Structure 1
Amino acid sequence: MHRAKAGNDGQLDRMPKELIDWLNKPVGRFLRIEAAAAAFLLVATLLAMSLANSPWSEHYFSWWQVEFGLRLGQMEISHSLLDWINDAVMTLFFFVVSLELKRELVLGELRQPRQALLSVCAAMGGMVVPAGIYLAMMWGHSAQHGWGMVMATDTAFVVGCLALLGSRIPLQLRVFLLSLAIVDDIGAILVVAIGYGEALNYQALALAGIGLLAVRGMAWLGIRNLMLYFLLGAGIWLAMDHSGIHPTVTGVILGLMTPTLKWVSDARLHQILHNVVAHPPGQKWSGNTQARMMLRTAEAAAREALSPVERLEIMLHPWVGFLIMPLFAFANAGVSMGDITFSGSLVPAIVVSFIIGKPLGVFLFSWFAVKLGLAVRPAELSWPMLMAGGMLCGIGFTMALFIAGLGMAASDLNEAKLAILVASVCSALLGLAFLIGFSVPSSLQKSSRHRQNSDKLPKESANGSQRATRALQSQTK
């Protein structure tokens, strides 16, 4: 007991530890969340496939078609459960993706223009080339309108595959693929907004625009209550839902509007915390006292020492990774194998577009960008490693299923989903195999450097002994 107490007293500069803190440890950073979320996605996908081909398949599919909504006077909004997940819940997914993109553009790797252009050009190639291959193979077919689904890359599964390789691959490849996937997601939602929208309702668009202006006005006035922003964001989503533009675009716009500047500087935070620490131990913090007011000021200062982009990302990213994306996969990945009627060209078009078109587009556009001087390739990121990483980009899963649900006819949807699953699995296996082949374990790298250094030791020792001999001779003379 005394030993435990002493251990706790020795860490008074840290927050008390609870059991939930050990569970939350893996979700501390973006890459760790994405890597762990990939496991949840995989489980949700396997469960959806199992239920879709089980005796409970009828209940599984009918559950997602249950209608519910809201009615306020003459205004009514009603969607199926599947539509609520795909249109409303996924808005938070795109909001977090947009937050990450803005953070990278302002504070991260993408703030350097030439480094950013490598990922941007690679993402463009990974969208244009697969879409071109798909259109060439499906021209004149009823599923031609589904060209957007082969442009997507699943960030969670890509990062999850990279996590399996650990230190065998360079950090620059992780940064490159993460940036590429984020840009790819934004490109995909723009494709949704432009290519899969409906007839525009200008009144609803005007209301959405007024809502966005209100968000900007609240930020200008210094309003920092997140709940007010979420309520206003919900109103903007409702207006966008009636506008003819896919409502998930709301998440992208609001994410890009989120400020990256923090309100409380490091110097001010340090001074406020110093004032709290200056109070002697045993000070009463309850009641309407100066000490309590100072403690509340310190609480607000610690919160506002992070920019809104960072705060919202930390708050929402675990929910998106561990709840929203698996829920989307569980609702959309179920494919009844008995209901599939192969058309002959749809499955090959999707598989070829992902497995061949994705890495080819990523590599070619990156190569041209570097050769033209538009972008710079990090020294640690070799061309073979970049090509292997491009193969992982063929994992289109989440966004591919999302766009397939918008652009495919019901008769082709199951076939498209199956092709997306097959292409994603093949791309993951090929990408991992090539990355393992091109990578060198860090232990071997260290041993190689050690051998090189040891080879130099005899020569250096001989030179040293010769210098010592000459010095001794000169002293003797």
Structure 2
Amino acid sequence: MLRAFFRTEAGSTSVLLTATVLALLWANSPWGHTYEAFWHTHMGISFGDARFSLDLRHWVNDGLMTVFFFLIGLEVSYEVRLGQLRNRRLIAVPAVAAFGGMLVPAGIYLLLNYGGPAAGGWGVPIATDTAFVLGVLAVVGARCPDPLRAFLLTLAIVDDVLAIMIIAIFYTASLSVPALLAAIVLLGAVVTLRWLRIWRAPAYIVLGFALWVATLQSGIHPTLVGIAMGMLVFVYAPSDQKLLLAGEAVHGFTSDPSAERAREAARRVQRAVSVNERLQLRLHPWSSHVIVPVFALANAGVRLDAEILRAALTSPVTIGVALGLLAGKFLGISLGTWLPLRFGWGILPGNLVWGQLLGGAAVSGIGFTVALFIVDLAFKDQALHDQAKIGILAGSLLAAVLGWVIFKLAWDRGGVCAPPEAEPAEELPEVLSVPVGPTDHVRGPADARVTIVEYGDFECPYCGRLHPVLEELLRKHADVRLVFRHFPLRTLHPRAAPAAIVSEAAAERGRFWEMHDVLYDNQRFLTDADLEQYAAEMDVVPWSNVPGHVARIALDEESGRDSGVRGTPTLFLNGIRYQGPLDLDSIDRAVANLRKSP
């Protein structure tokens, strides 16, 4: 049970929050003077007259955090090659949102601190803490759909890359050219090994450590080494040949179990997955549960006595950081989301309403790890240092509360998938424009007392959650029937229309509902190859009559628009629009009322 908890996002966030609280308690305890003394303890290695030494805080900030940024580099590399960052239209919206979410907070901070001794701290409120944001989203639960998580993860990756560039460009105090040249040569050696396809871990570890030392000596922050090394790690999709070899090895082991066959099967299965993904799997627990919490323990401690708090209440540094995180992130990300949607530069990864997007913009104001990181680089004065930390804690806490409130309000208004640019202001029809006819897809008796017409989209996550609810209703009531009509939201769900076409191909063989259930049970797997596989299993030719199927789907869409459908799922009960919550109890009550009516 405990292991399962720690594998969740809420679990890793709890560890980080605990470390933060411990740091604050330690710094404000009767032994508070030992906090700074401990983290300034020097530790190093020596060889003859050569000595390399850092204090414990710098070993954490410059050393352990390099592993954290290495993991970010791995994620960026994977997303660019195989993930969401391959699609430019999907990147556009979160990328512009991330840029706005950095520009506006920095502007708010500079408005309050420009020309003063703390002006260099403008970078503190620019970065979002991915770990805390994911933890908050895990607590939000069903109010945060998977497409919003995908949007915020893409935004966080872009945010992290921009933050690293800002650290490298604006927070490098001095530059040692010989050390920088050495770092470039070592980086070239790593690239050469990759080009030669030499994947020996010891070689990369030795070169990586030497590169880290050279970068540290050059004056550039060594966390850049982490993200550069991560982006160079090879990533690939499993090839058919590797999958076949892995399958044969596993089959060989199951037919004749032995230690040798077990080792070979494990080796084949492991090689089918890229090094990038294997490293992410191994490093994520260490980063989430050890490295980032230790960083918080080393940096979050700030004394909160009456004098310091009074100074912070009127400090432009504290106010600038807190407002930058709370208002700056919210306004910047919201505006950065609206602009590309308004001008058609990109699309969202799923079907989201503005309430969810605004909630995501609010929680993105939780700036902790990278914010504390930049505080250490931006301020040498201890008073400014403490005031900035108080601003981070206050702004992040308020951003989390604001996000939770927005999510709750958005949820209470209902969970219908409506694209932000399509939220209607007009009065929508409440009556089904086209009655159920012989060409409709019907599940249930023809003489049913209650007919539920669903306008759905096979890729819509809300439709996926509604699917088992409607199945349960049909099981409970023999006099209820379900009619499914297509309403694919093409700009938001690129796989919805092909899935609808395949379902129509199945309908020609009398297997629509069988395909309907398969598609909803496999919403994450709707590529052309997946759809062809589902069709083959049902002896269906998926693309035999595409123009005819498209025309059939278009009729459903036209009837939906005429009936006031603007998003999915939309339900009509006996021809009247259903406007209640989309849970089993609520719909069941509405159905029961109709069954009682004469």
Given the two structures, how large is their TM-score scaled by the length of structure 1? 0.83
Partner of residue 299 from structure 1, selected from 266, 270, 279: 266
Structure 1 unaligned regions, length at least 5: 1-21, 286-291, 458-477
Secondary structure of the equivalent of 2:44?
A: strand
Find out whether 1:455 has 2:570 as its counterpart: no
Query: Following the alignment from structure 1 to structure 2, what is the Cα–Cα distance between the partners of residues 151 and 367?
Result: 19
Q: Which stretch of the first structure deviates more once superposed, 309-318 or 271-280?
A: 271-280
Q: Select the structure with the greater relative contact order (CA < 8 A; seq sep ≥ 6).
A: 1
Find out whether 1:65 has 2:63 as its counterpart: no
Deviations 1:365-418 (A, max 9, x none): 221122222222356222332122111111001111110111012221111101
Q: What corresponds to 2:275 in structure 1?
A: 308
Q: Which stretch of the first structure deviates more once superposed, 333-342 or 443-452?
A: 443-452
Does structure 1 conserve the Cα–Cα contact (< 8 Å) formed by 2:66 and 2:224? Answer: yes
Does structure 2 conserve the Cα–Cα contact (< 8 Å) formed by 1:266 and 1:305? Answer: no
Q: What corresponds to 1:350 in structure 2?
A: 321
Q: What corresponds to 1:383 in structure 2?
A: 354
Does structure 1 conserve the Cα–Cα contact (< 8 Å) formed by 2:6 and 2:12? Answer: no
Find out whether 1:335 has 2:302 as its counterpart: yes
Query: Following the alignment from structure 1 to structure 2, what is the Cα–Cα distance between the partners of residues 145 and 48?
Result: 25
Secondary structure of the equivalent of 1:439?
A: helix
The residue identity in structure 1 corresponding to 2:574 is D
Does structure 1 conserve the Cα–Cα contact (< 8 Å) formed by 2:82 and 2:236? Answer: no
Q: What corresponds to 1:413 in structure 2?
A: 385
Shift of 1:235: 1.0
Query: Following the alignment from structure 1 to structure 2, what is the Cα–Cα distance between the partners of residues 95 and 279?
Result: 36
Change (3 A) 1:146 1:296: same
The residue identity in structure 2 corresponding to 1:400 is A
Percent of aligned pairs with the same amino acid: 38
Matches within 5 A, 1:120-269: 120-261=95-236, 265-269=239-243
Shift of 1:456: 4.0
Find out whether 1:35 has 2:10 as its counterpart: yes
Change (3 A) 1:386 1:213: same
Change (3 A) 1:276 1:132: closer
Find out whether 1:401 has 2:372 as its counterpart: yes
The residue identity in structure 2 corresponding to 1:414 is D
Secondary structure of the equivalent of 1:68?
A: strand
Shift of 1:299: 3.2
Q: What corresponds to 2:334 in structure 1?
A: 363
Does structure 2 conserve the Cα–Cα contact (< 8 Å) formed by 1:38 and 1:160? Answer: yes
Structure 2 unaligned regions, length at least 5: 417-461, 474-569, 577-598
The residue identity in structure 2 corresponding to 1:399 is V
Secondary structure of the equivalent of 1:259?
A: coil
Does structure 1 conserve the Cα–Cα contact (< 8 Å) formed by 2:179 and 2:217? Answer: yes
Does structure 2 conserve the Cα–Cα contact (< 8 Å) formed by 1:363 and 1:387? Answer: yes
Query: Following the alignment from structure 2 to structure 1, what is the Cα–Cα distance between the partners of residues 258 and 123?
Result: 62
Find out whether 1:372 has 2:343 as its counterpart: yes
Q: What corresponds to 1:472 in structure 2?
A: none
Change (3 A) 1:26 1:280: closer
Shift of 1:362: 0.5
Find out whether 1:116 has 2:91 as its counterpart: yes
Instruction: Provide the aligned length of Structure 1 versus Structure 2.
Output: 424
Shift of 1:198: 2.4
Secondary structure of the equivalent of 2:20?
A: helix
Q: What corresponds to 1:465 in structure 2?
A: none
Q: What corresponds to 1:271 in structure 2?
A: 245
Does structure 1 conserve the Cα–Cα contact (< 8 Å) formed by 2:253 and 2:265? Answer: no
Shift of 1:90: 0.3
More helix by share: 1
Query: Following the alignment from structure 2 to structure 1, what is the Cα–Cα distance between the partners of residues 249 and 332?
Result: 57
Matches within 5 A, 1:45-124: 45-124=20-99
Q: Which stretch of the first structure deviates more once superposed, 169-178 or 312-321?
A: 169-178
Does structure 1 conserve the Cα–Cα contact (< 8 Å) formed by 2:246 and 2:272? Answer: no
Does structure 2 conserve the Cα–Cα contact (< 8 Å) formed by 1:169 and 1:439? Answer: no
Q: What corresponds to 2:588 in structure 1?
A: none
Partner of residue 394 from structure 2, selected from 405, 422, 440: 422
Shift of 1:162: 0.7
The residue identity in structure 2 corresponding to 1:388 is G
Deviations 1:302-335 (A, max 9, x none): 2211112101100101100000010000111111
The residue identity in structure 1 corresponding to 2:383 is S
The residue identity in structure 2 corresponding to 1:186 is V
Deviations 1:11-42 (A, max 9, x none): xxxxxxxxxxx7655576xxx4x432111111
Deviations 1:182-215 (A, max 9, x none): 2111211111111111221121112111221221
Does structure 2 conserve the Cα–Cα contact (< 8 Å) formed by 1:167 and 1:442? Answer: no
Shift of 1:282: 6.4
Shift of 1:442: 6.5
Change (3 A) 1:284 1:359: closer
Partner of residue 407 from structure 2, selected from 435, 439, 442: 435
Change (3 A) 1:268 1:162: closer
Secondary structure of the equivalent of 2:302?
A: coil
Deviations 1:15-73 (A, max 9, x none): xxxxxxx7655576xxx4x4321111111111111111111211222110001112234
Change (3 A) 1:295 1:172: closer
The residue identity in structure 2 corresponding to 1:224 is W
The residue identity in structure 1 corresponding to 2:21 is L
Does structure 2 conserve the Cα–Cα contact (< 8 Å) formed by 1:153 and 1:395? Answer: yes
Does structure 2 conserve the Cα–Cα contact (< 8 Å) formed by 1:351 and 1:422? Answer: yes
Shift of 1:216: 1.8
Does structure 1 conserve the Cα–Cα contact (< 8 Å) formed by 2:242 and 2:271? Answer: no
Query: Following the alignment from structure 1 to structure 2, what is the Cα–Cα distance between the partners of residues 165 and 284?
Result: 47
The residue identity in structure 1 corresponding to 2:67 is L
Secondary structure of the equivalent of 1:391?
A: helix
The residue identity in structure 1 corresponding to 2:284 is H
Change (3 A) 1:453 1:209: same
Deviations 1:82-130 (A, max 9, x none): 0110011000111111211221222122211011111111000000111
Change (3 A) 1:275 1:102: closer
Does structure 2 conserve the Cα–Cα contact (< 8 Å) formed by 1:35 and 1:156? Answer: no
Does structure 2 conserve the Cα–Cα contact (< 8 Å) formed by 1:143 and 1:412? Answer: yes
Deviations 1:239-261 (A, max 9, x none): 10011110111001111111112
Does structure 2 conserve the Cα–Cα contact (< 8 Å) formed by 1:269 and 1:298? Answer: no
Query: Following the alignment from structure 1 to structure 2, what is the Cα–Cα distance between the partners of residues 149 and 61?
Result: 21
Query: Following the alignment from structure 1 to structure 2, what is the Cα–Cα distance between the partners of residues 105 and 281?
Result: 40
Query: Following the alignment from structure 1 to structure 2, what is the Cα–Cα distance between the partners of residues 153 and 362?
Result: 11
The residue identity in structure 1 corresponding to 2:158 is V
Secondary structure of the equivalent of 1:160?
A: helix
Query: Following the alignment from structure 2 to structure 1, what is the Cα–Cα distance between the partners of residues 254 and 349?
Result: 53
Given the two structures, how large is their TM-score scaled by the length of structure 2? 0.66
Shift of 1:296: 4.4
The residue identity in structure 2 corresponding to 1:307 is S
Query: Following the alignment from structure 1 to structure 2, what is the Cα–Cα distance between the partners of residues 99 and 392?
Result: 24
